[in-house]
A and B are shown apart, each in its own frame.
Chain A
């Protein structure tokens, strides 16, 4: 049961918890002669924190880029299950869609190297997270008339709740380029949240942070997951974080899925240990 003082739900998915939200099936991505992803299949369940781990160059970010439409895999599909109010489930294959159409379905993401709109304020960045929920009419915008003005105020309310959730009130009006790294990472999470995501993709949300900042970020991700009920799929290198906060873990190595299960299962899987630690030479 979600209970909090916020007025706006941040979870954009109406799928019941426990059902399949995203079905990744046989995704193969090649760059010339290099196979970045080789027949990767797994499922993301509504209401889970689903971690994707693997050594450097394993294809984790490529996988996320396939899901958000930035890369086009040669084979396979990624089926997103969505449900409108009171109706049955519709499925859409993300692999065939353009990035902005995928975002409109509620797949939001953050990037490994912060990709914020540097010259805009925190507020403008978060308002851009509302882009797909706003209507943009040229003449009304030029005249700052009626609907164009009203929607700026309506959507501001949800944005302010996200600002409150992530505790970035003090930097609301600061251009993000002038912010410290930790704040920028938080703003990027906020921008994705403002989209009211059905599925939140986070590419290394804790990269380059110290222990304390990592704890904070982990707390925010748990808040988003537990309080707001958003399904999160994240890439992370810090094993402690992954084992602590995720419900399910998929492991990639050289583009292939080598393990998929609960954190306990994965951490004792011999294939995973081999990928991370190597194996002993047998004489």
Chain B
């Protein structure tokens, strides 16, 4: 490199297409990787449970962001698709006696197919109307789960044995952490890759301007259905992981509340951003846990206030979403970028 070289410049398209260019970016990646590896040794068992929930939420949130943030198809059906993943994997494992990796893989595929099916209304509907149509898919799936006794066990919960692979039993959160973290990292990498390629670009084209997209040769029908399928595949994976991790599958875990929570995660994190899905998942899962913890801490000192904690949680949940929509609609991801810029340009303002 010549002595006068300053800033970031590229000598080949290959180098430009890399995700990280500067030393600071590479250093941050190493730090994050170290943090992921060290995490289970640093936190208490209680917080490791939360971390595992975050990991699963990251997988589901990336899936939803692919659909809502990148393809612009609003979906309120995420809870339903999680349920499909969880029930499929649990049933295949318990009834058909398939090994867990196979049942999870089949659950992912099944959810993708069902997601594509429920994506068909998106071919005719947009915006709020699509949101209502996907709300219907959420209710239809949960209704089916509750009433199809012969297959799903109806309103009774399915309990699953501890995961056992090649003689090794995954007993606690520490063991599960590695599985969940592995899948979360995989979800981040595949999500990031998808939107570096022409396929991911066509999703964003459909979001921004579907008529122009079709005039440029993008099959909008196929793209929308594919986006639903991919998104649901991630949701199916998250659902299947929940099932085997918690060891119990019940419809109450996949209600409309969950769909709304996932939407909140990607709005708070940042629509149309993989990193945002991660930040959102961390934020929206940690926040209620912190409030609960706070309630326990003041239990002895002020028990009346502690009894109100569940109500406070709901209020804070709503407040956070409203505040983000007002002050930073582009979410945590944008806030993080602004912080980086502030340091990069310092001492100048821009």
Contacts and interface: CB of A to CB of B under 8 A. Distances in A.
A116 B212 contact: yes
Contacts of B212: 111, 115-117
Given A115-B211, A117-B209, A131 B200 contact: no
Interface string B198-214: 11111011011101111
Contacts of B346: none
Contact of A124 (B204, B211, B213): B204
A257 B60 CA distance: 56
A216 to B, nearest CB: 23
B193 interface: yes
Interface string B202-238: 1011011101111111111000001000100000000
Contacts of A148: 197-199
Interface secondary structure of B, over-half rule: helix
B220 A120 contact: no
B328 to A, nearest CB: 17
B217 A136 contact: no
Contact of B215 (A109, A130, A151): A109
B190 interface: yes
A120 B219 contact: no
A16 B331 CA distance: 55
B338 interface: no
Contact of B204 (A111, A119, A130, A153): A119
Contact of B217 (A70, A156, A195): A195
A100 to B, nearest CB: 5
B205 A132 contact: no
Contacts of A195: 216-217
Contact of B193 (A103, A117, A131, A141): A141
Interface secondary structure of A, over-half rule: helix
Interface string A22-50: 00000000000000000000000000000
A70 B205 contact: no
Contacts of A108: 215-216
A117 B208 contact: yes
B207 to A, nearest CB: 8
A152 B272 CA distance: 21
Interface centre among B208, B218, B219, by most chain A C-beta atoms within 10 angstroms, is: B208
Nearest to A142: B190
B221 to A, nearest CB: 9
A141 B200 contact: yes
Given A134-B198, A141-B193, A141-B199, A117 B13 contact: no
A100 B194 contact: no
Contacts of A128: 198, 201-202, 205, 213, 216, 218
Size class of the contact patch on chain A: 35 or more
Interface in A68-111: 68-70, 98-100, 103-104, 108-109, 111
A104 B205 contact: no
Contact of A153 (B17, B200, B201): B17
Contact of A68 (B204, B213, B215): B215
A142 B194 contact: yes
B196 interface: yes
A151 B199 contact: no
Contacts of B190: 142-143
A56 B282 CA distance: 55
A244 to B, nearest CB: 28
Contacts of A134: 198
Contacts of A115: 209, 211-212
Nearest to B212: A115
B178 to A, nearest CB: 22
Given A68-B215, A104-B217, A124 B196 contact: no
A136 to B, nearest CB: 4
Given A70-B211, A115-B209, A156-B13, A191 B198 contact: no
A159 to B, nearest CB: 10
A276 interface: no
A144 B204 contact: no
A68 B213 CA distance: 12
B217 A127 contact: no
Interface in A173-222: 191, 195
Interface of A: 68-70, 98-100, 103-104, 108-109, 111, 115-120, 124, 127-132, 134, 136-138, 140-144, 148-149, 151-153, 155-157, 191, 195
9 contacts: A104-B217, A111-B215, A116-B209, A124-B201, A127-B198, A132-B216, A136-B199, A141-B193, A148-B198
The 8 closest A-B pairs by CB, nearest first: A103-B217, A132-B217, A144-B193, A117-B208, A99-B214, A115-B212, A141-B197, A142-B190
Given A109-B215, A137-B199, 12 more contacts: A99-B215, A100-B214, A103-B215, A108-B216, A115-B212, A117-B209, A119-B207, A131-B202, A136-B198, A136-B199, A136-B202, A152-B196
Interface of B: 13-14, 17, 190, 193-194, 196-202, 204-205, 207-209, 211-220, 226, 230, 272
